[in-house]
Amino acid sequence: MMRLSRTFPSLLALAVGAGSIFAGTSAYAQDWAKTALDKSPRHREYVTVEHDGRKVSTYVVYPEIKTKAPVIVLIHEIFGESDWFKLQADELAAKGYIVLAPDLLSGMGPKGGGTDELFATTSSTDPVTKAVMGLDAGQVTADLNAVSDYGKKIPAANGKLFVAGFCWGGGKTFDFATHRSDLSGAFSFYGPPPPAAAMAAITAPVYGFYGENDARIDAMIPQAVTDMKAAGKFYEPVTYAGAGHGFMRAGQAPDASAANKKAWEDGFARMLKEMAAITSGKKMSRVMSSKKAVVVAQAAAVKCHDTAGME
């Protein structure tokens, strides 16, 4: 039985240690993202979603609109619930969506906390990334199901449910589509696909977003296209020229390369366009009847993190 409660926000070698810690910090605590988030006029809160004796801290952002809205369950990178991740949730809410961004590391900290507590132990993302890669796949799916159920019961929700994620979360997004039959769409950003045998259970259209300069994940795209076609499912991967791994985050940073910035802009716009079309019903016949291989747009590449244990 799922129970819900609500609360409001309130060492490496010396020669390389400093650089490593700085890199880890920049991946988790982005001052530019926090500054932008602090200026948001939207209502934001943390809720605790409880299921099977587990408590999942979930960041929720509401749009400022007068009608009911679709729900997006947003899945974090291997860096956990970072400042950028919360900013992305806020920016999607700004476009008219209720966004639920669970910290899937809830309860994994030394004192029962999540991402923040793990990061605070060393001011490095090392404990966070190790904890993410150690998460049990079944637990992640159960967490996402509980958060999705919570989202659909929000009085301001209109019944549409989307899932989207980045890097590790991109893989989990594709995988979650094999477990959740009421999804309206899945948006997988530079993450690996699930096993071919699992694809038969997918009922929602799956959209892939990949960067040209990240070959490890891109090498999986052709087989994913083949497997999704064989399963009679809709899969549309697009690759963004010159972009590297994590371009949705890197593309918003003050020092973003031109290619990453454009990939972020185009990827965000594409996601919004597809969700709007699905929500309006304009794409339903196309999605449900799609049994042809989709064309991979332009080049290919994405470098998510480790794919071990992603299935």
The CATH number that applies at residue 222 is 3.40.50.1820
Cα distance between residue 303 and residue 307, in whole Å = 10
Could you say which of 124, 142, 160 is where a domain stops?
A: 160
* Same-domain status, 82 and 226: no
25 and 140 within one domain: yes
Neighbours of 5 (CB within 10 A): 9
Q: Are residues 102 and 79 in the same domain?
A: yes
Domain check: are 68 and 216 in the same one?
no
Q: Judge if 144 and 262 occupy the same domain.
A: no
Residue 104 DSSP symbol: T
Query: Per DSSP, what are the bridge partners of residue 61?
Result: 44, 99
Domain count along the chain: 2
Same domain membership, residue 103 and residue 220: no
Structural domain including 57 reads 1-160
**Strand, helix or coil at 292?**
coil
For residue 27, the model assigns a pLDDT of: 61
Same domain, 150 and 203: no
Residue 60: what pLDDT? 98
Q: Are residues 14 and 156 in the same domain?
A: yes
Cβ-Cβ contacts under 8 Å for 264 (sequence gap 6 or more): 247, 248, 250, 251, 252, 256
Strand order in the sheet with 98-102: 3-7, 44-51, 54-61, 98-102, 69-75, 157-166, 185-189, 206-211, 235-240
Tokens matching residue 288 = 């449900």
Distances (CA, A) of 162 to 148, 168, 302: 9, 17, 22
Q: Report which DSSP code applies to 23.
A: H
Contact predicate 299/239, CB 8 Å: yes
Q: Mark whether 136 and 175 lie in a shared domain.
A: no
Q: Do 18 and 156 lie in a common domain?
A: yes
Q: Considering 160, 177, 205, which residue would you say is the last residue of a domain?
A: 160
Give per-residue pLDDT as tens, 213-240.
999 999 999 999 999 999 999 999 999 9
Give the residues of the chain that fall short of pLDDT 70.
1-29, 283-311
Which residue, 106, 125, 160, sits at the end of a domain? 160
Same domain, 68 and 46: yes
141 and 173 fall within a common domain:
no
